[in-house]
Amino acid sequence: MSGIGSALLNSLDIGLLLFIIAVGLNIVFGVLNIINFAHGALYMLGAYLAFTLINIVGMPFWAALLLAPLGVAILAVLIDRFLLRHIYSRDIADSLLLTFALLLIINESVRMIWGSGIQVVQPPQLLAGSMDIMGSSIPTYSLFVIVMGLALLAGLWFLFNRTRIGRIMRAAALDRDMAEVLCINTRLVVTGVFAFGAWLAAVGGVIAAPMRALDPGMGDKIIIESFIVVVIGGLGSFPGALLGAIILGLIHGVGGRYFPEVNMLLPFLGMALVLLFKPNGIMGKGAAA
Amino acid sequence: MMKTRAKKILVALSAAAAMGAVSTSYAEEPIRIGGIYILSGSAATYGEFAKKGINLAVDEINASGGILGRQVEMVYEDSQGKASVAIQAARKLVYSEDVDALVGLDSSGVAQGMVPTMPELQKPLIITHAATPDVTGKLCNAFTYRISVNVAQNMRAAALVAEKLDATNWTTIGPDYAFGHQSWEFFGNYLEELEPDVNLMSETNFPRFGAEDFTPFIDRVMDSDADGVLISVWGGDLVNFVRQANNRGFFEKDLELLFTVGGATEVLSALGDEMPESVHLSTRYWFDGYDNDINARFVKAYVDAYDGPPSYNAEGAYAAIYAYKKAMETVGTADGLAVAKALSGMSIEAPNGTVTFRKGDHQAMVGPNWGISGPMHPEYGIRTLTDLQIFNGEDVARSIEETGCKL
């Protein structure tokens, strides 16, 4: 395959991993109206839980993919019940402060539990190594990331557009009081959505674990990227998260390959342009968003 | 009458006793040393290693009577890898924690920011890791020393290694900040001196520090005419880089590869056998490279305490504490100015041999270690270094004029 072909595939695997993480951030914002600063920390927890299950307990990767996100979702339920619950009705700045505190707590806990060393997780046998696609060596795991990203994309679309739960979530996002009048248990919806967002972050973490080195700062790196995705695509918008993630994937993958001198600048330039001309993001709606 | 006199005597006695107690306790007041390292985030493992080395030195020194008969006590601050945070930390350590001396710094950027503020604090600083030539060059000052290898020394050695290789078209992949750029600049200049017809490609690669996915840059080098690559990516980034390069078949290409910090044990243990064989790896200290009693004792103590071989960062930090011991005992005080003066030109015996702080720029004359990655180590699960070359620190150092340092 030509250089551009493999650069595009590389962009796609960077972009779709970012999508899995950023879409969780966006769903939580859309329904709960909080910007979850700790989202990256939950991603990191997913990766470290996978590391424990695979490297220490000795489980197969697939079991970790199932269990680690579940564990993080349970933690998210506790966070919601004991902490976030008290600030939903307050100004958005309060939730920023609280989730920032959570990020610091989770970061330090990870460092205390797993240590500060660099850890790696091996991909499952099935996905190890590379495939030769038209003369270029493409890591099999990259293809898996792309398939997982597309599967989650399809699943989320189906959830929001074709299921009752999805409709309830959208209703709660649009008007929580009205939803309550219609006998929807919005407290349950809120908890469920927060846990679902955390689950998505952790799925991203488990998927990232075999391709990215684990260290106690990995959450901070991804949260900045996710914020860029969300600003470019549109805060709270589902298609926006996809568009923003693909754009950032292209900036890294194709930009890094062909314009390395300005590669560092491009994400921020993109963000600045979007803020100038479409302040709510490319897919963002009205000023209220 | 008698009673009052007795009372007075008692009061006087107890006052004297109290004063005696005060003066004794003053004499036994510990020597406090402040450590400023990255203790959180991605590179926290480097601060952790420094702490491990320091703990060994402090325990050994305290068990054998301390420094000037006083126990040694460490106080740590997290630099977070940011210059502004490190400057605050240094002020806090000196003004509120009353430390007598400072050790630390993991990042070139942090060192460039913090070193110019040292004269204001009037306390000595021994840098144990950060490698920018500037801090023992144009930014040098009376209070700043470095015990670890700097970029200029290591790149001089790298050029000597590269000179013997077949490659003629050289490029680089390095982090996009002082360390990556200065590594390439010094390497290029030295290699050109040795081999005037070498081609230093204008197509260079400087991915963001913490970039996570280096594939675009790996592809770019593979598609270029380069046959020699200087790789100064380090830490977790290097782990990501090597694994992604493996996926791309980078190591199967006929390239001469020089990893400027590739022999770091923390990177080698994370990678295991994913680090390919027969690439050139450098480190500032290879635990297996020095045949002397101090090194044997240090490595044994380290392995016993922490399971695994010491990293270069642990060794530098360990030696720095001993440097302070010798300097303070030479001048008989822990006074900042006096200790800073005593360090100049001083030599100590360290795990990596006799280390001398050169008078003109305060850079330790220590030699970089370059080797070729070989078979796996039977105990530690890391690649070994074969054909290890330990350069003479003096030979690879810049001349004082070249450093631009005026002391």
Beta strand pairing call for B256-259 and B280-283 = parallel
Q: Determine the Cα–Cα distance for residues A169 and B263; give it in Å rounded to an integer.
A: 52
Chain A residues touching residue B172 (CB < 8 angstroms)? none
For residues A205-225, give the mean pLDDT.
93
Q: What is the pLDDT of residues B113-140, one digit of tens each?
A: 999 999 999 999 999 999 999 999 999 9
Please judge whether B45 and A120 are an interchain contact, meaning their C-beta atoms are less than 8 angstroms apart. Answer: no
Burial of A190: CB neighbours in 10 Å, binned 0-12, 13-18, 19+: buried
Report residue B142 as tokens.
Answer: 């009376």
CA of residue B83 relative to chain centroid, distance: 17
For residues B68-93, give the mean pLDDT.
96
Which DSSP category does B67 fall into?
B
For residues A246-263, give the mean pLDDT.
88
Q: What is the pLDDT of residues A77-126, one digit of tens each?
A: 999 999 999 988 888 889 999 999 999 999 999 999 999 989 999 999 99
Report residue B391 as tokens.
Answer: 């350069």
Measured between its terminal Cα atoms, the distance across chain A in Å is: 42
Q: Determine the Cα–Cα distance for residues B64 and B71; give it in Å rounded to an integer.
A: 10
Contact of A12 with A249, CB cutoff 8 Å: yes
Q: What is the pLDDT of residues A38-64, one digit of tens each?
A: 999 999 999 999 999 999 999 999 999
Contact of A41 with A108, CB cutoff 8 Å: no
Select from A83, A77, A22, A71 the least CA-distant residue to A47.
A71
From the list A111, A213, A264, the residue facing B208 with the nearest CB is A264
Q: In 3-state terms, what secondary structure has residue A59?
A: coil
Contact of A280 with A234, CB cutoff 8 Å: yes
State the CB neighbour count (10 A cutoff) for residue A182: 11
Q: Determine the Cα–Cα distance for residues A52 and A46; give it in Å rounded to an integer.
A: 10
Report residue B249 as tokens.
Answer: 């078949």
Q: What is the pLDDT of residues B241-288, one digit of tens each?
A: 999 999 888 999 999 999 999 999 999 999 999 999 999 999 999 999
Contact of B173 with B217, CB cutoff 8 Å: yes
Q: Determine the Cα–Cα distance for residues A36 and A21; give it in Å rounded to an integer.
A: 12
Closest residue in chain B to residue A136, using alpha carbons only: B248
Model confidence at A288, in pLDDT bands (50, 70, 90)? very low
Report residue B199 as tokens.
Answer: 């081609």
B108 pLDDT above the threshold of 70: yes
Q: Would an 8 Å CB–CB cutoff place B273 in contact with chain A?
A: no
State the CB neighbour count (10 A cutoff) for residue A220: 17
Question: C-alpha dihedral over A48, A53, A57, A58, to 10 degrees?
Answer: -120
| pLDDT at residue A286, rounded to an integer | 47
Q: Determine the Cα–Cα distance for residues B314 and A21; give it in Å rounded to an integer.
A: 36
The residue assigned the tokens 């989770």 is: A106
Q: What percent of chain B has pLDDT over 70?
A: 93
Instruction: Please state, rounded to an integer, the average pLDDT across all residues of chain A.
Output: 90
Flag the least confident range among B23-32, B174-183, B197-206, B385-394: B23-32
| pLDDT at residue B259, rounded to an integer | 98
For residues B297-314, give the mean pLDDT.
94
Q: Determine the Cα–Cα distance for residues B117 and B332; give it in Å rounded to an integer.
A: 26
State the CB neighbour count (10 A cutoff) for residue B7: 10
Q: Would an 8 Å CB–CB cutoff place A131 in contact with chain B?
A: no
Q: What is the pLDDT of residues B378-402, one digit of tens each?
A: 999 999 999 999 999 999 999 999 9
B338 pLDDT above the threshold of 70: yes
Assign residue A5 a region: left if phi > 0, alpha if psi is -120 to 50, beta otherwise? alpha
Burial of A103: CB neighbours in 10 Å, binned 0-12, 13-18, 19+: buried
Select from B81, B265, B269, B87 the least CA-distant residue to B175.
B81
Q: What is the pLDDT of residues B196-210, one digit of tens each?
A: 999 999 999 999 988
Q: Would an 8 Å CB–CB cutoff place B48 in contact with chain A?
A: yes
A129 pLDDT above the threshold of 70: yes
**Contact residues for A207 (Cβ-Cβ < 8 A; gap 6+):** A17, A20, A65, A144, A145, A148
A249 pLDDT above the threshold of 80: yes
Please judge whether B217 and A257 are an interchain contact, meaning their C-beta atoms are less than 8 angstroms apart. Answer: yes
Q: Determine the Cα–Cα distance for residues B301 and B317; give it in Å rounded to an integer.
A: 15
CA of residue B293 relative to chain centroid, distance: 21
Flag the least confident range among A42-51, A274-283, B207-216, B318-327: A274-283
| pLDDT at residue A259, rounded to an integer | 86
Q: What is the pLDDT of residues B207-221, one digit of tens each?
A: 998 888 999 999 999
Cα–Cα distances (Å) from B357 to A197, B342, B344, B361, in that order, read: 55, 10, 6, 8
Q: Determine the Cα–Cα distance for residues B277 and B385; give it in Å rounded to an integer.
A: 9
Amino acid at B163: E
Report residue B354 as tokens.
Answer: 């006799």
Question: Distance, in angstroms, between B127 CA and closest chain A CA?
Answer: 21
Question: Distance, in angstroms, between A165 CA and closest chain B CA?
Answer: 36
Model confidence at B22, in pLDDT bands (50, 70, 90)? very low
Instruction: Please state, rounded to an integer, the average pLDDT across all residues of chain B.
Output: 92
State the CB neighbour count (10 A cutoff) for residue A277: 8
Amino acid at A37: F
Contact of B298 with B56, CB cutoff 8 Å: yes
CATH for the B152-283+368-396 domain, from 3.30.160.270, 3.40.50.2300, 3.60.130.10, 3.30.70.2860: 3.40.50.2300
Q: Where in chain B is the domain with CATH 3.40.50.2300?
A: 31-149+290-366, 152-283+368-396
Q: Determine the Cα–Cα distance for residues A130 and A142; give it in Å rounded to an integer.
A: 9
B406 pLDDT above the threshold of 70: yes
Flag the least confident range among A177-181, A228-232, B69-73, B215-219: A177-181
Please judge whether A256 and B176 are an interchain contact, meaning their C-beta atoms are less than 8 angstroms apart. Answer: no
| pLDDT at residue B210, rounded to an integer | 87
Beta strand pairing call for B169-173 and B228-231 = parallel
Q: Would an 8 Å CB–CB cutoff place B213 in contact with chain A?
A: yes
From the list B42, B248, B269, the residue facing A137 with the nearest CB is B248
Closest residue in chain B to residue A108, using alpha carbons only: B40
Q: Determine the Cα–Cα distance for residues B21 and B27; give it in Å rounded to an integer.
A: 10
User: Alpha-carbon torsion A266, A267, A273, A274, what sign?
Assistant: positive
From the list A6, A115, A212, the residue facing B219 with the nearest CB is A6
Contact of B159 with B369, CB cutoff 8 Å: no
Model confidence at B6, in pLDDT bands (50, 70, 90)? low
Question: Distance, in angstroms, between B125 CA and closest chain A CA?
Answer: 25
Q: Determine the Cα–Cα distance for residues B34 and A58; give it in Å rounded to an integer.
A: 41
The residue assigned the tokens 């959570």 is: A102
Residues 202-231 of A with CB under 8 A from B: 211-213, 215-218, 220-221
CATH number of B31-149+290-366: 3.40.50.2300
Contact of B383 with B275, CB cutoff 8 Å: yes
Report residue A153 as tokens.
Answer: 């994309």
CA of residue B197 relative to chain centroid, distance: 34
What is the per-residue burial (b if ≥16 Cβ within 10 Å, else e) of B362-391? bbbbbbbbbbbbeebbeebebbbbeebbbb
A227 pLDDT above the threshold of 80: yes
Chain B interface disruption, residue of A215, A226, A251, A262, most B CBs within 10 A: A215
Chain B interface disruption, residue of A11, A17, A109, A116, most B CBs within 10 A: A116
B21 pLDDT above the threshold of 70: no
Which DSSP category does B133 fall into?
G
| pLDDT at residue B5, rounded to an integer | 56
Question: Distance, in angstroms, between A153 CA and closest chain B CA?
Answer: 22
